[in-house]
Amino acid sequence: MDRRDFMAALASASVAAGVSRTVTTDAAQTKAERPKRLAAGDTVALVAPASATFQSMDVDIARESLETLGLKVKVGRHLLARHGYLAGADKDRAADINGFFADRGVDAVLPIRGGWGSARVLPYLDYDTIRRNPKILLGYSDITALLLAVHAKTGLITFHGPNGMGRWDAWSVEYLKKVLFNAEAVTFENPRTMTDRNSLVQIENRIRTLVSGKARGRLLGGNLTVLTTILGSPYVPSWDGAVLFVEDVGEDLYRVDRMFTQLKLVGALDKIRGFVFGTCAECGPGEGFASLTLEEILTDHIKPLGVPTWFGAMIGHQTPQWTLPVGADVEIDATRGTITMLEPAVR
């Protein structure tokens, strides 16, 4: 029995006995590249790698949100372009991203929105330029394709957090400042406050532990649909020793089941050391279907792995959200429902 088989057997025995455990990576990962932290007066570039933005007022709102943080804003040449449902031609959307990474006057690149289309620009990105000019790249949803591809190709830590038109509420901004401005090694945890004054227990933002224990590894993930769309391509990092996090929106639960089956069949799930699910907003059973619940789907696909697993994290589309460092080393505690950065993700 080799070490991997031994660890798998040990994991199964631990889960069967209800024992918490700590999991670490088999070997040290190559140290990731950290971008420079943000500061007041820095410049953020707005780009549109995915769906079209039809209202110029949305650009104004994104700009003003960034300016309230003391940041300056540059706008991509093709930000309001349109090619059907896309924000212009694939090469044009990629050109804005390449240009801003090459621009020494830009400190961070922020997609204005997700939707669909980021995966189409991946072959046209200049990864050598991105590698030579490491900068903060921030976004979520369809931007998952960019975050994973840039990390896979360059080693640069990217950030799963608000898009330009996303949530800029006080709770989300507090985490963004801690990670990107203050260079803190943050512990991410759901809010504990009661939203209903008449409630005796916490109702909203609860977590659910499927497999207790702690795990350390490189944090990878994002939107489940987008992630599975690029599986098998050269734009996906290695899953070896990873802590996988996912979320989704507007997917019938049988599709969620199908996507986890795909992750299982390509061998990705066998390589991870921990798992966190955020939210799945508007994810119902689908018309005419008897359905598994999300918890049952996770119990079928993730719990048998024996790795620390929990769901209900502040990662998703319709809740305040954390700013998570994709490619950074973290420790999760599935019993407490926390993700702890092991070092700052910016320098």
The catalytically annotated residue of 51, 78, 172, 247 is 247
User: What six digits make up the tokens of 123?
Assistant: 């072959």
Backbone region of residue 305 per phi and psi (left: phi > 0; alpha: psi in -120 to 50; beta: other values): alpha
The catalytically annotated residue of 78, 151, 301, 317 is 317
Active-site annotation holds for 56: no
The catalytically annotated residue of 65, 141, 172, 212 is 141
Residues contacting 171, CB < 8 A, separation 6+ = 191, 320
Beta strands in 214-328 (DSSP E): 214-223, 242-249, 274-281, 309-311, 324-326
Please spell the DSSP secondary structure of 48-111, one letter per residue.
Answer: -SSB----HHHHHHHHHHHHTTT-EEEE-TTTT--BTTBSS-HHHHHHHHHHHHH-TT--EEEE
**C-alpha–C-alpha distance, residues 3 and 17, integer Å:** 21
Structural element, H or E, at residue 8 = helix 3-16
Closest CA to 11 of 217, 309, 265, 257: 309
Residue 312: half-sphere exposure toward Cβ, Cα within 13 Å? 20
Is the CA virtual torsion 53, 55, 60, 61 positive or negative? negative
DSSP 156: B
Active-site annotation holds for 247: yes
Residue positions annotated with a catalytic role: 141, 247, 317
